[in-house]
Amino acid sequence: MNKNRDFYGECRNALEQAFETEGATLVDALPALGKSMKTIEIIAERGDKAVIFTARHDLYDQLEDECKKNGITGYILPSFHRDCPTGGKEETRKYGEEWAQRFSSK
C-alpha cells in the first residue's frame, strides 16, 4: 500500500474528468477531500456555470464563501427547512409548531 498517495490530487483529477464528461457523473470520494471546494476552483478556472446541491446547510455557506474567494457569483436558493417561515427551523418559524408538524408530515 502506498502511504504517500495524493488523495486530494486524485479527487481533483476525478472532478476535472467529470467536467469533461457529458451527462451526470458521480465522484465517489471520502469526506473532507475537497470535492466541494475543488469544484468551485474548477468552475472558476473554466468559466463554467454549475448548480450544486448539498444536504448540509453549513456547506452552502462554505460554498458561498469559496465562490466569493474565486470571483464567482453564487446564489443560494431558499430551503424549506432553513428559510420557510411556516415549517422551517425554529428560529425562522412564525406560525407555530402545529404548522411545522403539518408541513413536515406530508
CA distances from 7 to 3, 45, 88, 94 (A): 10, 21, 38, 46
Q: What is the pTM of this model?
A: 0.69
pLDDT tens profile 3-49: 657 888 999 999 999 999 988 888 888 888 889 899 999 999 999 88
pLDDT tens profile 41-58: 999 999 988 888 887 878
pLDDT tens profile 89-101: 666 566 666 766 7
Average pLDDT over residues 100-106: 68
Closest CA to 8 of 43, 49, 36, 48: 36
